[in-house]
A and B are shown apart, each in its own frame.
Chain A
Amino acid sequence: MIDSRKLDPNFKYEVGEEISGSNITRCFTCGTCTAGCPVRDIDDKYNPRKILRMIILGMREEVLSSDFIWLCSTCYTCYDRCPQGVHITDIMMALRNIAVKEGHIHPSFKEQARLVGTFGRLYEVEDFDNKKRQKMGLPPVKKQFDDVKVIIDKTRVKEFVK
């Protein structure tokens, strides 16, 4: 049940500021997003229309601490089909960014941030990989990028680099 005393009416604006051009307040809950969502098709614990409604109602804490905001597969089907031009996929990313600021992050994204922040790519490249590439006639790939560390240091990703 919704406890109106805990609602944050500014949450929708906070989300809107996190990502420009989200058009979040245009949502009239038609459900086109949910109808075409491939994740929702498999499991109804992810429901974009419901999440948008929760944002507009101001259910800040419930949304940010939820498991479901991490379930968007970023396919952009809802984004492309929304009759009101609400940039739903971008809104899901904005929610995750705000959640991270508040100390909520899914372990999978924490690990991805660590890898990219440490090695400048999603995989740690080992000598073995470059030997294998050489055998196939492919050029070697760099193992680490020092300049990436400099720019990562200016972002929240650095919190996840050990």
Chain B
Amino acid sequence: MKYALFLGCTIPIRGQNYEISARKVAEALGMEFVDIEEFGCCGFPVKSTDAKATTLLAARNLAFASREGLEICTLCNACTAVLSGAAKKLDNDEKLRNIINEELKEIGLEYKPGVKVRHFSRILFEDFGPEIISKTVKADMSDFSFSIHYGCHYLRPHDMYDGFDNPENPVTVEKLTEATGARVQDYKGKLECCGGAILGVDQDIALRMAGKKLGNVTSNNVDALITICPFCTIMYEDNQKKIEEVLEKEFNLPVLYYPQVLGLAMGIDPKELGFRLNKVKTKDLLQKFEDANPPETSGSNEPVTQEAIQ
């Protein structure tokens, strides 16, 4: 199982804890990530300025993957939506494909139909599934309860994602989280947007959008909010202090990337999962994990996942 890992703009600079934990978890599951140095911006940030620029940038990235004959594995929801949307449009619209390929010719590239793009969480769900994931779990996570924020572009627009999850009642990341042995806590407003795309347009509205969700999630006393998109994390974690100021409330809610949680459950050393980069400190959470999983009883630190899968 070989995939071209698409990091996008934010993850390699501001979300290395997501990247490092995703790489560790993937390795333990026997997934091979290929790094294509030429991957740049997916095109999302210029969609408002010129949709053609977005299609060109997306097609450029898709063409690099297609040259290697690889499926793209994304970590960011916005990259997922833009790359999937562009691939779908280019596959179905020959006229558009010819126009775009005419432009790409100048940089020595060609978009050939059929490039597949899937989010890492979707790949975990579809290619492994909760049952196999649960077989890779070594640690006791039963004392933990988490709430899930899917993020909009993981689910919508629905007509782009072949119905792999239900955008009005999603289950994939919840099932993947339950597979670790942790409890999942539902909450009011689960489908609502983090506001990240308008942070630069109207900070107050964006922070209040994210703050509303932080309020709903913390009212259930969960251990953390789980996200699968770097921009959602920027809203809920990096901006949590600012939101606390605006709303005059205290949340102190850890925000974890799903692969960090799965990595813990697999018995991967927390030091290798980038927790020190989490802006809302995870010291108490990791202490709780260690109390439930004392180092001497949890056996070797090597995850046993490969054998578990086979």
Q: Is the CB of B209 within 8 A of A38?
A: yes
Residues of chain B in range 175-225 having any CB-CB distance to chain A below 8 Å: 191-193, 195-198, 200-202, 205-206, 208-209, 212
Q: Is the CB of A132 within 8 A of B50?
A: no
Q: Is the CB of A142 within 8 A of B209?
A: no
A26 within 8 A of B: no
| B276-301 to A contact mask, C-beta < 8 Å, 1/0 | 00000000000000000000000000
Residues of chain B in range 47-89 having any CB-CB distance to chain A below 8 Å: 47-53, 56-57, 60
Contacts of B60 in A (CB 8 A): 147-148, 151
User: DSSP class of A's interface residues: helix, strand, loop or mixed?
Assistant: helix
Selected contact of A120 from candidates B20, B40, B47, CB within 8 Å: B40
Contacts of A113 in B (CB 8 A): 45-46, 49-50
B127 within 8 A of A: no
Q: Is the CB of A93 within 8 A of B41?
A: no
Size of A's binding interface in residues, CB under 8 A: 61
When C-beta atoms are compared, the residue in chain B nearest to A106 turns out to be B201
Residues of chain A in range 67-97 having any CB-CB distance to chain B below 8 Å: 70-77, 79-80, 87, 89, 93-94, 96-97
B306 within 8 A of A: no
Selected contact of A145 from candidates B20, B40, B46, B104, CB within 8 Å: B40
Q: Is the CB of A77 within 8 A of B103?
A: no
When C-beta atoms are compared, the residue in chain A nearest to B198 turns out to be A73
B152 within 8 A of A: yes
Q: A38-B209, A120-B41, A122-B10 are in contact. Are A74 and B56 (CB under 8 A)?
A: no
Q: A133-B12, A136-B16 are in contact. Are A121 and B48 (CB under 8 A)?
A: no
B35 within 8 A of A: yes
Q: Is the CB of A79 within 8 A of B209?
A: no
Selected contact of A77 from candidates B48, B51, B193, B206, CB within 8 Å: B193
Q: State A105–B201 Cα separation when bound (angstroms).
A: 11
Q: Is the CB of B209 within 8 A of A42?
A: yes
Contacts of A79 in B (CB 8 A): 156-157
Residues of chain A in range 117-162 having any CB-CB distance to chain B below 8 Å: 117, 120-123, 125, 129, 132-133, 136-139, 141-142, 145, 147-148, 150-152, 154-157, 160
- Return 27 A-B CB contacts under 8 Å, by A number: A39-B193, A70-B201, A71-B198, A71-B205, A73-B198, A75-B192, A75-B197, A106-B201, A107-B200, A109-B48, A111-B200, A112-B48, A113-B45, A113-B46, A113-B49, A116-B46, A123-B14, A136-B16, A141-B13, A142-B38, A147-B109, A148-B41, A151-B104, A152-B53, A154-B103, A155-B46, A156-B50
